[in-house]
Amino acid sequence: MTVSQPPEQASIRIRRAVDRMRKDLPQLSEIFDAFQDLVAEQAALKIALPPLNVTELAVDPAQFLDGLPLLRKEDFSVDCDYLKKSAEWLLPAMGKGFPSISGQLEAIEKALHECDSATQGLMPIMPLGTDQEIEDLAAKLKVDPGILKFVMLQLVKPFAAKRAESVKPVLETLSWQKGFCPI
């Protein structure tokens, strides 16, 4: 069982780990500088999220043994309120780590806070979206499609990690023998 820690402790733990890696791999300092705050804030946000209810998770043991993971991308969605909260935590870190895209981050943040019809399209698109859907949404928001995809994936990462963590008890009752993640 994992011992819960305050979000601030998770952030500190990540920052210390990155600092150790920076000493061992100084040639990657620019990458560490860009991602340190983002990864630290993602860890803190994941801990701050409430536990997810997975009691309704229906698992067919035979399909699971055949390789069907517990959580399918098709079943994964994130609501606008979560995206707003995630943006509040993570966009400042992205702006610090990636200052050259700050204008596009502001456009994405504005769309998330307005939660207009264009933004509502983010929920079904981001985990599964086709390149065309992402390009269409990026055009509506007037941002680069690659940046939109990167930002949205970073925003949903803590939620996805929390969801994966929440299904661990279900895994204890099942057998998995495939070469990829059962979640």
Is residue 33 a part of any domain in this protein? yes
pTM, 2 dp: 0.82
121: pLDDT confidence band, cut at 50, 70 and 90?
low
**Does some domain include residue 23?**
yes
Query: Residue 136 domain-assigned?
Result: yes
**Nearest CA-CA partner of 123 in 133, 131, 132:** 133
* Residue 180 lies inside a defined structural domain of this protein: no
Q: Span 84-97, mean pLDDT?
A: 94
51 in a structural domain:
yes
Quick check: is 177 in a domain? no
Rg (CA), the chain: 18
Q: pLDDT tens digit string along 27-80? A: 999 999 999 999 999 999 999 988 777 666 677 778 888 888 877 766 666 777
At 127-156, the pLDDT tens digits run 567 788 888 888 988 999 999 989 988 998
3-state secondary structure of 153: helix
- Between 175 and 122, the more confident residue is 175
Q: Looking at the domain assignment, is residue 178 inside a domain?
A: no
Asked if 97 and 33 count as a contact pair (C-beta separation under 8 A), the reply is yes
Give the pLDDT of residue 116. 56
**For position 154, what pLDDT does the model report?**
94
Mean pLDDT of the chain, nearest integer: 83
Range(s) of the domain holding residue 105? 7-171
* Residue with the larger pLDDT of the pair 173 and 150: 150
- Total tally of structural domains belonging to the chain: 1
- C-alpha–C-alpha distance, residues 174 and 121, integer Å: 35
**Taking residues 155-169, what's their average pLDDT?**
86
Query: Is residue 102 a part of any domain in this protein?
Result: yes
pLDDT band at 126 (very low <50, low <70, confident <90, very high): low
